[in-house]
Structure 1
């Protein structure tokens, strides 16, 4: 099963790092991806640019609007993601525990919901009820 690991941290902490500290963190992240790839758990992943580059898009009553910045003000900002393959949530959590930026914020782990071809849709009712 695939799990999406959304990496969050406080951008102010990252901005306060020296270039040497930032480079070291990035090397740790690349080594983490190499290890996850070697073990067959890494599917995809990318780091994101800072929230100043974000645009939030909404469609309401047929009208499209855009707003500079992220959807909401938060203490931690979305920094990137890892798409991981794991047996179950417990294994996904173990894999996520190795992601270096975890020590500066948090990682949200969510199972990927596979969409079914038309006529074979399952789970739509439970999604609508939540």
Structure 2
């Protein structure tokens, strides 16, 4: 079954992190990504640009409303994702627990609703 691991972190804290800490975090993600790939669980994944680069789109009364920035102000922002293949939810949760963001932010595990056509 496929799962999304949605990575939420505090953008302000990440931006304020010393360069050495940034390299350390980057290396941890590199090792985590390599472990996912080596296991055969990795399907896709990437970082997202900061929320200042986001655009939110809503339809209201037949009109398109376009807003610069994220939809809501929150302590943590969606910063990236992994799409993985896992035997079950417990296996996906185990991978989420190994993600570097699990120790500093939140990793949301969400099963993908498989479309049958």
TM bucket by the smaller chain? Answer: over 0.9
How far apart are the structure 2 equivalents of 1:39 and 1:13? 31
Q: For the aligned residues, what is the CA RMSD?
A: 0.9
The runs of 5 or more residues in structure 2 that have no matched partner are none
Superposed displacement of residue 61, structure 1:
2.7
Superposed displacement of residue 3, structure 1:
0.4
How far apart are the structure 2 equivalents of 1:19 and 1:62? 47
| Structure 2 counterparts to residues 1-130 of structure 1, below 5 A | 1-117=1-117
How far apart are the structure 2 equivalents of 1:33 and 1:89? 19
Question: TM-score, normalization: structure 2?
Answer: 0.95
Give 1:127's aligned residue: none
Deviation string for 1:91-126 (max 9, x for gaps)?
A: 000011111122111011010001121xxxxxxxxx
**Contact 1:58/1:64, CA 8 A, preserved across alignment:** yes
Number of residue pairs aligned between Structure 1 and Structure 2: 117
Deviation string for 1:71-102 (max 9, x for gaps)?
A: 11111100100101101100000011111122
